A and B are shown apart, each in its own frame.
Chain A
Amino acid sequence: MGDSGLASEVNEHQRLQLQFQLFQESLPKVDETIYRMLLNEAVPLAISVEKSLTHHKEDATGQLEAELDSKLALESQQGDASHKLLKDYLAADQDQQTRIKTRLENIGFQLGQKLSQLLIFSNNPNLSFKDMDLLSVMKFVCRDVWKQVFGKQIDNLKTNHRGTFYLLDYNYKPIEPFTLEEDLSDQEQKLIEPFLHVPCGMIRGVLASLGFEKEGQVTCQATLVDPPDSKQAGAGTFTKSVSFNVQVLVGR
């Protein structure tokens, strides 16, 4: 009696799971390559915005010059190439770099906020947003959010149960195609930094939409770290992992 009840429960769960899968497959899709490109292109975009904004300020005194500039700008509407813009990032001063990073984090933040909505309405039978504590929210980020955006889960989650979390991603997808040697120079390291600010913002955005919304309550920083030895990949592949350090101030 009890046995058959359990069996039908499993079936019910399986049925929901199947239904969810079918639903996911039926959703409109786009190519993955362009999504990756769009996401990565946000970095040169942010640099280019910074450039044109500071440029604009300098010109504010010479109105005529600015006018002439806008006329000339019509000719070369394309702006600078992405790789040149990335170089500009290295040349930019501290303030500018901070503004660029904030801009990228904002993009990530907005995306994160909407992502949790997207996932809440996806009818995933494994997800329940009722009575979620901080740990299950972080698990949600590691499992479902990461899966949705990067097609994989976070590889390792560590916590001290007091609001500090380490999220380790051994092969963070957006920077995976970058060719980087093991002895990474400081410049190269610096150049990757802005690419890590989008996911940082994203994590904060997801947390904000799930109740951790107070200003400055959540901080998130990402650093490149060496992967543990067991995960050492073959030669020629990207060898750095990303570690996200999330601090959540829990009221009490």
Chain B
Amino acid sequence: MSANSASISASSAGPKKSLKTFGDDIWKNKTAKINAELFTLTYGSIVSQLCTDFERDFKKVNSQLYAMGYNIGVRLIEDFLARTALPRCDSLAQTSEVISKCAFKIFLNVTPQVGNWSNNKDAFSLFLDENPLSDFVELPMDAAKELWYSNILCGVLRGALEMVQMDCDVWFVNDVLRGGQSTEMRVKLNRIMKDEIPAGED
């Protein structure tokens, strides 16, 4: 795994400027910022209201959060592309780098580690060491079994990737809130959607 990820990051480093400095630069100079605690608290209120509404049926809460994220993702990608002006990625490896070093950096100011590549390079994991959504959050016993607290992130990623013609499945495999070693998000590419060409055009 370590050998894999090392070679991938080396090959995908941009010719002029590495994605990392690119992302850092945008975060520093072109981003209006807001207190992360406020963000955490707001998300916490939303999740807790959802849990009440669904009478602690956490499966439903998960899918509702996912749906909410999806709706955000399909619009967030516009903002992302407008701000970064990045071209299309040639490979999933590059996509993963853009997600971790630019997208997460610009919007949440964190840089998750990319790793755990599948053998045929169609799936990878993002390891979130820091997660602004779940700062100072502790789940009650019943929620810790079924609730994916930050499931909104999966929805966002899925929605955003779909808008750049990548049909992906995104889900959490591990979360520190559930007693896991790390917070791990899995991204699996199903297929690249074809560009639709209007009928009658050559």
Contacts and interface: CB of A to CB of B under 8 A. Distances in A.
Interface string A37-77: 11101101100110011000000000000000000010001
Contacts of A35: 34, 38-39, 42
Contacts of A118: 35, 37-38, 41
Given A33-B79, A110-B48, A111-B41, A41 B109 contact: no
A228 to B, nearest CB: 28
Interface string A101-124: 001001110110011001000000
B110 to A, nearest CB: 9
Contacts of B43: 38
Interface stretch (B11-19, B69-77, B185-193): B69-77
A103 B53 contact: yes
Interface in A132-176: 148-149, 151
B39 to A, nearest CB: 5
Contacts of B71: 41, 44, 78, 81-82
Contacts of A34: 39, 72, 76, 107-108
Interface string B28-65: 00011111111101111110111011100000100110
A161 B32 CA distance: 38
Contact of A30 (B46, B75, B109): B109
A214 interface: no
Interface centre among A49, A52, A106 (most CB of B within 10 A): A49
Nearest to B35: A27
A93 interface: no
A211 B139 CA distance: 28
Nearest to B48: A110
Interface of B is mostly: helix
A33 B70 contact: no
B66 interface: yes
A171 to B, nearest CB: 16
B114 interface: no
A28 B60 contact: no
B36 A45 contact: no
Contacts of A115: 38, 41
A3 interface: no
A125 interface: no
A27 B36 contact: yes
B163 interface: no
A186 interface: no
A83 to B, nearest CB: 9
A69 to B, nearest CB: 13
B99 interface: no
Contact of A31 (B34, B53, B74): B34
A189 B107 CA distance: 31
Contact of B37 (A28, A31, A73, A110): A28
11 contacts: A28-B109, A31-B106, A33-B107, A38-B42, A48-B68, A53-B54, A77-B63, A78-B66, A107-B46, A108-B45, A118-B41
Interface of A: 24, 27-35, 37-39, 41-42, 44-45, 48-49, 52-53, 73, 77-82, 103, 106-108, 110-111, 114-115, 118, 148-149, 151
